[in-house]
């Protein structure tokens, strides 16, 4: 079973980037992958709150102060 938005990430990446489906991408990991692989969107980026994934986002995608504040 896919959890924490994995199915939504895969749907948006491989089928159609649908705004209704994006709402289900809720974990930091899947939000980071979405921003990296599909498109960096604020409504998905706001879910990157885990320290590790915030670090990866700021290092490899964009140094955003709203995400950086979660890096411990």
Give the Cα separation of 69 and 5 in Å (integer). 23
Q: How far apart are CA 27 and CA 31, in angstroms?
A: 6
Q: What are the sequence ranges of the domains in the chain?
A: 6-68
Nearest to 13 by CA among 29, 35, 45: 35
pLDDT at position 3 is 65
Instruction: Output phi, psi for 5, to 5 deg.
Output: 90, 5
Predicted confidence (pLDDT) per residue in 18-71, tens digit: 999 999 999 999 999 999 999 999 999 999 999 999 999 999 999 999 999 999
């Amino acid at each position: 079973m896919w959890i924490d938005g994995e199915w939504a990430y895969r749907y948006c990446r491989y089928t159609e980037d649908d705004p209704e489906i994006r709402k289900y991408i809720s974990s930091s990991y899947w939000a980071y992958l979405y921003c990296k692989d599909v498109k960096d969107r604020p409504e998905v980026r706001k879910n990157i709150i885990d320290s590790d994934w915030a670090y990866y986002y700021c290092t490899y995608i964009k140094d955003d102060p709203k995400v950086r504040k979660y890096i411990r």
